[in-house]
């Protein structure tokens, strides 16, 4: 074979060999990407960890109620789909009531309460600010507190020169919590809901608008958990941290009531647990194994929505657990504990 012919075929091989090589590289890349996409869409099943062992029951406030009859009008006329497991989060509590009292006293000082605390019942202490006629009650076991001012007896608050706007009320309430060292990150990042209220001679009543009100209440809802789950309380629509802000021009009368019940959730410390199926949760609801967060006098309730959330504990516990939330007509809302019964202590 002549050198000319050899060179000709060499060029042909080089040209088409390059095409083949490119095709192989592209094909391999596509195959690798396809395998990665399939694995992402079909992750290996990891069973629930249950590393905390059996959990205590979720404790709800005592409430008597009559079992209802339920019908369901859900989206797509079917129950929503849920995973077979959910996270249970660790809740940290003070290990020493003495140290907790020290910390709470620091908080009281920061909020303007300089008096020596008085134990009014076991682990509950009262602080006074006589200059402003305010009382601060703190529970050193769970870190909750309530600040009260007798605003129902202060006629000057009934006709303030100006009722704070939503932004003004939020800023004032946030500053109060910040000054007391009680403005946790998940409260800063969570939703702030402002509602308007009217002080009257027979109590505090909801007002339809700012112009009809003389005080504003700011509810600080926690930031949702990492899986975008809501944290619900024993009072639907109300956060466990709320501040009542008046339109007073006197600085010491701008904050007239604070309700603060906040547990320290370690969002990085959790274990997964098996949870009931949607069908099992519905069966619990029908059997009356639920807690009515918002009840109704009607005996027949149509359920419009069902979702998974976390219940903010009302009692001393080390865990925050998931619950199924059922929302029905006539403002009916019910909670059903989600973790399967086999992992709940008797």
Query: Are residues 305 and 232 in contact, defined by beta-carbon separation less than 8 angstroms?
Result: no
DSSP state string for 194-244: EEEEEEETTEEEE-SSGGG-SEEEEEEPPPPPTT---EE-SSTT--SEEEE
> What token pair was written down for 24?
């192989």
**Spans of the chain, pLDDT less than 50:** none
Cβ–Cβ under 8 Å, residues 259 and 146: yes
SS3 call for 261: coil
Pick from 100, 89, 99: nearest CA to 143: 100
* pLDDT value of residue 232: 96
Q: What is the pLDDT of residues 322-338, one digit of tens each?
A: 999 999 999 999 999 99
Sign of CA dihedral 327, 302, 82, 91: positive
- In this structure, the strands spanning 300-311 and 231-232 are parallel
Q: Does domain 69-91+267-343 have CATH number 2.40.128?
A: yes
Indicate if the alpha-carbon torsion angle 321, 88, 44, 24 is positive or negative. positive
Q: How far apart are CA 272 and CA 283, in angstroms?
A: 23
The residue extents of the domains of the chain are 1-44, 69-91+267-343, 143-262
Q: Exposure of 73 by Cβ count < 10 A (0-12 exposed, 13-18 middle, 19+ buried)?
A: exposed
203 strand-pairing partners: 200
CB neighbour class for 208 (10 Å; exposed up to 12, middle 13-18, buried from 19) = exposed
- pTM of the entire structure? 0.85
Separation between Cα atoms, residue 173 and residue 243, nearest integer Å: 6
CB 178 within 8 A of CB 207: no
Residue 238: burial class (beta carbons within 10 Å; 0-12, 13-18, 19+): middle
Of 142, 133, 102, the C-alpha closest to 240 is 142
Q: What are the pLDDT digits (tens) for 190-232?
A: 999 999 999 987 889 999 999 999 999 999 999 999 878 999 9
The dihedral sign for the CA sequence 225, 281, 273, 90 = positive
What is the C-alpha radius of gyration for the chain, rounded to an integer number of angstroms?
29
CB 250 within 8 A of CB 163: no
Confidence (pLDDT) at 99: 85
Handedness of CA 16, 19, 25, 26 (dihedral sign): negative
Neighbours of 328 (CB within 10 A): 24
Q: Are 326 and 303 in contact (CB under 8 A)?
A: yes
Distance in angstroms (rounded) separating the CA atoms of residues 82 and 85: 8
Q: Choose among 167, 175, 179, 185: nearest CA to 262.
A: 185
Does residue 304 sit in helix, strand or coil?
Answer: strand
């Amino acid at each position: 074979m002549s050198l000319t012919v050899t060179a000709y075929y060499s060029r042909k091989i080089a040209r088409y060999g390059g095409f083949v090589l490119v095709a192989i590289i592209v094909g391999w890349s596509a195959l690798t990407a396809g395998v990665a996409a399939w694995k992402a869409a079909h992750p290996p099943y990891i069973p629930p960890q249950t590393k905390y062992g059996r959990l205590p029951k979720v404790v709800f406030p005592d409430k008597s109620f009559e079992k209802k009859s339920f019908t369901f009008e859900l989206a797509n006329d079917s129950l929503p789909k849920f995973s077979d497991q959910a996270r249970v989060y660790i809740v940290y509590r003070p290990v020493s009531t003495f140290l907790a009292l020290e910390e709470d006293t620091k908080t009281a000082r920061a909020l303007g309460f300089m008096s020596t605390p008085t134990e009014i019942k076991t682990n509950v202490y009262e602080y006074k600010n006589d200059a402003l006629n305010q009382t601060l009650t703190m529970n050193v076991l769970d870190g909750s507190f309530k600040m009260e001012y007798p605003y129902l007896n202060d006629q000057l608050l009934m006709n303030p020169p100006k009722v704070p706007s939503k932004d003004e009320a939020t800023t004032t309430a946030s500053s109060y919590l910040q000054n007391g060292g009680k403005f946790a990150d998940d409260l800063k990042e969570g939703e702030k809901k402002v509602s308007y209220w009217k002080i009257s001679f027979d109590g505090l009543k909801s007002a339809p608008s700012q112009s009809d009100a003389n005080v504003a209440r700011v509810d600080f809802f926690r930031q949702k958990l990492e899986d975008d789950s809501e944290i619900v309380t024993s009072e639907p629509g109300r956060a466990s941290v709320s501040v009542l802000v008046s339109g007073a021009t006197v600085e010491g009368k701008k904050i007239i009531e604070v309700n603060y019940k906040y547990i320290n959730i370690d969002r990085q410390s959790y274990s997964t647990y098996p949870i009931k199926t949607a069908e099992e949760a519905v069966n619990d609801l029908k059997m009356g194994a639920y807690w009515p967060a918002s009840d109704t006098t009607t005996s027949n309730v149509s359920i419009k929505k069902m979702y998974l959330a976390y219940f903010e504990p009302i009692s001393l516990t080390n865990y925050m657990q998931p619950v199924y939330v059922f929302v029905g007509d006539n403002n009916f809302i019910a909670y059903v504990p989600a973790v399967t019964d086999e992992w709940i202590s008797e």
